[in-house]
Amino acid sequence: MAATGGGAGGGGGSGLLPFPSGSATVSDKLVWDVWMSQHHLTVTTVALNLGLFDWLHGKRAAGGATATEVAAGLSTGPRSTEAVLAVLGGLGFLRCCGGKFTLTEEARNFLLKDSPFFWGHMLQGDKSGDAYTRLLKAVENDRPSAGAWKEWQDGELSDERAAFLTAEMHSHSLTAAFGVGAAVDFSGVTRFLDVAGGSGVFTFAVCRANEGVSGTVLELPAVCRLVEGKYRPADLAERVDTTSLNMFTEDWPEGYQVHFFSNIFHDWSREQCVGLARSSFKALPSGGRIMLHEMLLNDAKDGGLTAACFSIHMLIHTPGKQYSLEDLRSILGEAGFVDVKAQATHPYYSIVTGTKP
């Protein structure tokens, strides 16, 4: 969740929501696949509606087309075009070689209008559903058609809305948080700042796995109250506190060796991400690290499928997208970070780390 509120919080919590003890060994890969599969048909149907497959087939003599050329040819925005192409690549309808997208045999057989095996009439049979309409609107306008991003950006989140969104984020983050706690080396770290940290699940997992670490969840005031009153385990009450500020406009607290962001950069535009990275760089000490917990697109941006579908989710709900490692390396480098590298911590998630010289 995005932290853009004002005020401060802290104190002991009752830990009303059970938090697993020890090290979680479960995998939620299947659940991620099922959840993100909601976008498989809608992306394919929207691509058919836009004429993407026939347009791209017309570029075969040129060896295909780049994402920029596809966007120009279909009059779609760069962010939405990238997201759609990545899903179609992940599904196996497109491939990318040398930056150019081409149709696979399956796409030529079943998604071209002049093919005797054309499936389009069935796939496009019902274009009145909310999912199709939302995606088509987002693709045509290259801007979100739903979502809580404006509430996050403005720092206006009611207690009821905060409770709903925090529960959502907690449920899809818990398994990944244990992966971070188990896989990432926090040697030498004593203070950990979880920026826009939601329920605090990553702070809890890191502190549980590293006895010398204490953490702060930086969030909106309504979410901070939830962290303290509902989510924070009782045994971490002395090691985990909360604070709130507008992460886009206010100076960040100093004294932390790690600034951690889970599913935050994917909510925002590249320009906003550079701004967040610069705020982090300013507040970190020399040798301090920024850590981005994100689901990475591959370098060709034609998959993997679940990450690509998550980018569609971001297209609909936020101004952001899923980034590749090279994208994030560029963003962090622009802010001054060096030695940017990635470490897998989950079947789909990685930690991208940059160091302040």
- Residues with a catalytic annotation lie at 266
Closest CA to 82 of 102, 69, 67, 94: 67
List alpha helices for the chain, DSSP H. 29-36, 38-50, 52-57, 67-74, 78-91, 105-110, 120-123, 130-141, 149-154, 159-183, 201-209, 221-226, 270-283, 305-317, 325-335
Q: Count the residues in the chain.
A: 357
The DSSP secondary-structure symbol of 62 reads G
What is each CA distance from 306 to 146, 281, 297, 302, in whole angstroms? 20, 31, 9, 11
DSSP code, position 323: -
Q: What is the DSSP letter of 298?
A: P
Residue partners of 37: CB distance under 8 A and separation at least 6: 309
Task: Look up residue 221 and give its amino acid.
Answer: P
Could you give the CA distance from residue 312 to residue 66 in angstroms, rounded to a whole number? Answer: 19
**Cβ 82 vs Cβ 323: under 8 Å:** no
**Encoding tokens for residue 254?**
């100093």
Report DSSP state, residue 112. S
User: Can you tell me which residue has the tokens 């925002």?
Assistant: 268
Percentages (nearest 5) of helix, strand, coil residues in the chain: 45, 15, 35
CB 217 within 8 Å of CB 162: no
- Provide the pairing of β-strand 258-262 with 240-243: unpaired
Reading the block at residue 229, the tokens are 């009153």
Q: How far does CA 101 lie from the centroid of its chain? A: 24
